[in-house]
Amino acid sequence: MTTMKAISQHTYGGTEVLQEIEIDRPSPGPSEVLVRVRAAGMNPTDWKHKRAGGLVGKLPLVLGWDVSGVVEAVGLGVTIHRVGDEVFGMLPYPHGVGAFAEYVVAPARALARKPAGIDHVQAGALPLAALTAWQALVDAADIQPGQRVLIHAAAGGVGHLAVQIAKERGAYVIGTASAPKHALLRELGADELIDYRTEDFTAIDPVDLVLDTVGGDTAMRSLETLKPGGQLITIAVMATPEALAEQAAARGVRAYQLLVEADQAGMRAIADLVTAGRLRAVVEAVFPLAEFAKGHDLGDTGRVTGKVVLTVP
């Protein structure tokens, strides 16, 4: 059996529990492809699962849901990708994890063709965060031109892509971010910015939609910003989601949680926006796979602007 390098953990904890090891290279089953990983975006779910199994709940664990790479082999019945194709996508969340490795197996239909105009770092940065933004704003909220949307943590992985997708859909975008990040967000299209550290975001004129990426008190207080009939979608883990939904109902608005799903149609829509020059990932840092610890430590700060990406030479 051929082996490969992977970043694995046998216990939960800080970055010190992660180590580069040699494991068997996987083989694609029916409807699956084996991808030679060229770049893998990092997400907060990676830092969280490092500490506690979370939704995956199994050890040993190789983290990493985002992948951009080259199809190395195809399983029985795969028609949409061929060996040598450049592809990108999100492995099925939560159990498809494993992209922080030289190779990973993915369902063929979790992946789309990588836009030719971007490199693997850009492509690897996009899937999970862009799919989350797309599924929230377009699939769930069906955001319309002229609607007002409040996006929390607008400079984060999900937020900075959500700003661009909402603008592309013709919305008026208000973002929360610390002041040093406002210039970048204006460049990405945000219409109005609030420094959540010094300003009260509930003072904005009412909005049709809130995309909450922070949770807790931020989610609860965001209900105050909604117009009657408005909606709040949270992607944060809420300790009391029922309380949020109840308070929303009492105010005549709707609040609900979203969990991102692997989605080839969404990946194709994202690829089309990228190709049209309407969507790009801001990448704060790129590290080779062997320097995974730097990526994790940066992510653990909770202050990343855009994305952090690991590359596999």
Ligand X SMILES: NC(=O)c1ccc[n+]([C@@H]2O[C@H](COP(=O)([O-])OP(=O)(O)OC[C@H]3O[C@@H](n4cnc5c(N)ncnc54)[C@H](OP(=O)(O)O)[C@@H]3O)[C@@H](O)[C@H]2O)c1
Tell me which residues touch ligand X (CB under 6 A): 43-45, 128-129, 132, 152-153, 155-159, 176-178, 181, 196, 213-214, 218, 235-236, 258-260, 302-305
Judged by DSSP in three states, 194 sits in strand
The distance of closest approach from Cβ of residue 144 to ligand X in the complex, given in angstroms and rounded to an integer, is: 23
Closest CB to ligand X among residues 278, 303: 303
The distance of closest approach from Cβ of residue 139 to ligand X in the complex, given in angstroms and rounded to an integer, is: 12
Going from the C-alpha of 231 to that of each of 208, 209, 292, the distances in angstroms are 6, 5, 38
Give CA–CA dist 196/305, Å, rounded.
15
Closest CB to ligand X among residues 172, 196: 196
Closest CB to ligand X among residues 9, 43: 43
The distance of closest approach from Cβ of residue 34 to ligand X in the complex, given in angstroms and rounded to an integer, is: 26
Q: State which residue has the least CB distance to ligand X.
A: 156
| Token pair in block for residue 277 | 């020059």
Closest CB to ligand X among residues 68, 218: 218
Give CA–CA dist 260/65, Å, rounded.
11
3-state secondary structure 17-46: HEEEEEEECCCCCCCEEEEEEEEEEECHHH
Terminal alpha carbon distance of the chain: 22
Give CA–CA dist 256/29, Å, rounded.
36
Going from the C-alpha of 69 to that of each of 100, 120, 309, the distances in angstroms are 12, 7, 13
Closest CB to ligand X among residues 85, 195: 195
Give strand pairing partners of 115: none
Q: Are strands 103-107 and 207-212 parallel, antiparallel or unpaired?
A: unpaired
Closest CB to ligand X among residues 98, 299: 299
